Amino acid sequence: MTTTATLEVFQSLWAMEDLPWAPTGPRPTPWPLPEQLDLLVGHGFHGVAVDLGARRVPTAAELAPLLAERGLRSAVVAFVADDPALDTALRFADTIGADRIVLCAQLYTRDLAAAAATVARWHRRCADAGVELQLETHRDTLTNDLRTTVALLAELDPAVLLAADLSHFVCANELPDGHHPAVEELITAVLNRSGSAQGRIATRCQVQIPLGFPMGGIAEPRFRAWWEQGLRAVVARVAAGTGPRDGRVLFCTELGTTPYAITDAAGRELSDRWAEALVLKSWAEQAFAAALAPTHSPEPEGITR
């Protein structure tokens, strides 16, 4: 039986820190956690991603009933260097009812086969616990470098999918602006092994830029095209039976607070990350709709209608 791909847009709880935004005047009181979750429900988000490395991550016991009351799904984002760190993430996931872990592997080795074996073992441990693991592309982790990550894919168990946060590659590797076939080939290799995407716009010198600013003139359409390409690849994988569990395709809007967010001389963020999260959500929905649309190959030359 063919599974139909469905889009689930999550918001990172880390991205809700230090909101609401105020460009001038007294700094407002931050939204408490229940209000944050109510806003997500009210704007049609399907769930939250809980980064265990965030400055103000709630306890699992605090968060679990709040999610259940609102019918929000959840995923856990964890930086993992060893088995005890994975155990911590699995316990948190179990308490809040998360069935997905996005793992940032803190494995620093040139032995890609050994690293891939460790990730595959962690993937099996998560599967045994009823949790789907995806390996995030993230700076200062096993997937820091784009070219090394593509080489890693040759060693990695095909069952392990990536959580594609391309902003890290653009910034960490200072990828050139514009279309470059060699870069696009590498990005395509990553997207073809991805099971989810994270939403943030980056340039070669900034991992997160405000939306609509002139500096994003090239970057915004570039990322939106990549997201559509990646979602199309996931949809195809779901149809083939090798995609994410139950065909649920995750897109996580993840506009981080400082130091990700750019600030002025007074330390105020330059833009409203909550308003931008809603823009990213709409872009994700548009990209997914385009990904579901059939593609039409050009007809051979000489054929007329």
- The one-letter amino acid code at 213 reads F
Q: What is the per-residue pLDDT across 128-187, written as a single tens digit (0 to 9) for each? A: 999 999 999 999 999 999 999 999 999 999 999 999 999 999 999 999 998 899 999 999
Question: What are the CB-based long-range contacts (under 8 Å, 24+) for 169-172?
Answer: 169/137, 170/202, 170/203, 170/204, 170/207, 170/219, 171/139, 171/202, 171/203, 171/204, 171/205, 171/206, 171/207, 172/139, 172/144, 172/145, 172/146
Q: Which two tokens stand for residue 143?
A: 């997937």
- Distance (Å, whole) CA 260 – CA 209: 8
Q: Residues 237-259: what's their mean pLDDT?
A: 93
Q: Is 305 a member of any domain?
A: no
Query: What pLDDT, on the 0 to 100 scale, is given for residue 109?
Result: 94
* % of residues, the chain, pLDDT over 70: 96
Is 278 within the bounds of a domain?
yes
d(C-alpha 56, C-alpha 184), whole Å: 37
The answer as to whether 303 is a domain residue is no
In a domain, 164, yes or no: yes
Q: What is the dihedral of CA 41, 47, 53, 55, to 10 degrees?
A: 0
> How many Å apart are CA 177 and CA 193, to the nearest integer?
23
**Domain contains 172:** yes
Total-model pTM: 0.93
Q: Which helix (H) or strand (E) holds 276?
A: helix 273-292
Q: Which residue has the tokens 């704007």?
A: 43
In a domain, 60, yes or no: yes
Structural domain of residue 76, as residue ranges?
Answer: 6-19+30-291
Residue 300 pLDDT more than 80?
A: no
Average pLDDT over residues 250-268: 96
Number of domains the chain is built from: 1
pLDDT at 303 exceeding the cut of 50: no
Task: Give the tens place of pLDDT for each residue, 262-283.
Answer: 999 999 999 999 999 999 999 9
Contacts of 208 (CB under 8 A, 6+ apart): 167, 200, 201, 202, 255, 256, 260, 261, 262
Residue 169 structure tokens = 């590659």
Residue 234 buriedness (CB in 10 A; 0-12 / 13-18 / 19+)? buried
For residue 301, tell me if it sits in a domain.
no
- The answer to whether residue 299 is domain-embedded is no
pLDDT for 296: 53
Q: How many CB atoms lie within 10 A of CB 286?
A: 13
For residue 6, which phi and psi values (nearest 5 degrees)? Answer: -130, 145
**pLDDT of 302 higher than 60:** no
The mean pLDDT of the chain is 94
CATH number at residue 83: 3.20.20.150
> What residues have CB less than 8 Å from 225, skipping those under 6 apart?
none
